[in-house]
Structure 1
Amino acid sequence: MSESRWQWENATAGAVAGFATVATMYPLDVVRTRFQVNDGRVTNYPTYKNTAHALFSITRSEGLKGLFAGFLPSVLASSVSWGVYFFFYDRAKQRYSRNREEKLSPGFHLAAAAEAGALVSLCTNPIWLIKTRLQLQSPFHQSRPYSGIYDALRTILREEGWTALYKGLGPGLLTQVSHGAIQFTAYEELRRIMVDYKERKQKSESGSNLLVCKCSF
Structure 2
Amino acid sequence: MDNDSKSNSTATAVEEAEAKRPSGVQATVAGGVAGLTSRFVIAPLDVVKIRLQLQTHAATGVASEAGPSYRGITHALRTILREEGISGLWKGNIPAEMLYLTYGAVQFLTYRETTAYMSENTSNYLPKTAQTFISGGIAGSLATITTYPLDLLRTRFAVTGQSKVYQGLWHSLRHIHDHEGIRGFYRGSTAAVIQIFPYMGLMFGTYEAFKASLHRAGLPNGWDDAAAGTIAGVVSKSGVFPLDVVRKRLQVQGPMRGNYLYRNIPEYSGMWQCGKQILATEGMRGLYKGWLASIVKSGPSAAVTLWTYSACVRLFERLE
Change (3 A) 1:188 1:48: closer
Instruction: Tell me if the contact between 1:97 and 1:104 (Cα under 8 Å) persists in the aligned partners.
Output: no
Counterpart of 1:49 in 2: which secondary structure? coil
Distance of 1:25 and 1:187 partners within structure 2: 19
* Pick aligned residue for 2:178 from 158, 178, 188: 158
* Pick aligned residue for 1:173 from 193, 203, 215: 193
Instruction: Tell me if the contact between 1:45 and 1:138 (Cα under 8 Å) persists in the aligned partners.
Output: no
Distance of 1:99 and 1:107 partners within structure 2: 13
- Asked if 1:46 is matched to 2:68, the reply is yes
- TM-superposed CA distance for 1:107, in Å, is 2.4
Counterpart of 2:23 in 1: which secondary structure? helix
Change (3 A) 1:196 1:132: closer
**Counterpart of 1:95 in structure 2: which amino acid?**
Y
Distance of 1:66 and 1:192 partners within structure 2: 40
Query: 2:281 — aligned with what?
Result: none
- TM-superposed CA distance for 1:59, in Å, is 2.6
Q: CA RMSD in A?
A: 3.0
Query: 2:260 — aligned with what?
Result: none
**Counterpart of 1:37 in structure 2: which amino acid?**
L
Distance of 1:172 and 1:101 partners within structure 2: 30
Distance of 2:54 and 2:175 partners within structure 1: 22
- Asked if 1:184 is matched to 2:207, the reply is no
Aligned residues: 195
- TM-superposed CA distance for 1:192, in Å, is 6.2
| Larger mean Cα displacement after TM superposition, 83-92 or 43-52 | 43-52
Distance of 1:197 and 1:40 partners within structure 2: 47
* Pick aligned residue for 1:147 from 164, 167, 170: 167
Query: 1:85 — aligned with what?
Result: 107
Distance of 1:80 and 1:18 partners within structure 2: 8
TM-score for the superposition, normalised by structure 1: 0.77
Give percent identity, aligned residues only.
26
- TM-superposed CA distance for 1:95, in Å, is 2.2
**Counterpart of 1:39 in structure 2: which amino acid?**
T
- Asked if 1:20 is matched to 2:40, the reply is no
Instruction: Tell me if the contact between 1:59 and 1:66 (Cα under 8 Å) persists in the aligned partners.
Output: yes
**Counterpart of 1:112 in structure 2: which amino acid?**
S
Change (3 A) 1:196 1:153: same
Distance of 2:83 and 2:214 partners within structure 1: 51
Query: 1:128 — aligned with what?
Result: 151
- 5+ long unaligned stretches in structure 1: 199-217
| Larger mean Cα displacement after TM superposition, 70-79 or 92-101 | 92-101
Distance of 1:185 and 1:7 partners within structure 2: 21
Where relative contact order (Cα < 8 A, 6+ residues apart) is larger, the structure is: 2
Instruction: Tell me if the contact between 1:34 and 1:136 (Cα under 8 Å) persists in the aligned partners.
Output: yes
* Pick aligned residue for 1:61 from 78, 83, 86: 83
**Counterpart of 2:67 in structure 1: which amino acid?**
Y
Counterpart of 1:31 in 2: which secondary structure? helix
Instruction: Tell me if the contact between 1:66 and 1:138 (Cα under 8 Å) persists in the aligned partners.
Output: no
Distance of 1:66 and 1:155 partners within structure 2: 23
Counterpart of 2:56 in 1: which secondary structure? coil
- TM-superposed CA distance for 1:8, in Å, is 2.5
- Asked if 1:29 is matched to 2:46, the reply is yes
Distance of 1:11 and 1:30 partners within structure 2: 27
**Counterpart of 1:24 in structure 2: which amino acid?**
V
Distance of 1:170 and 1:60 partners within structure 2: 36
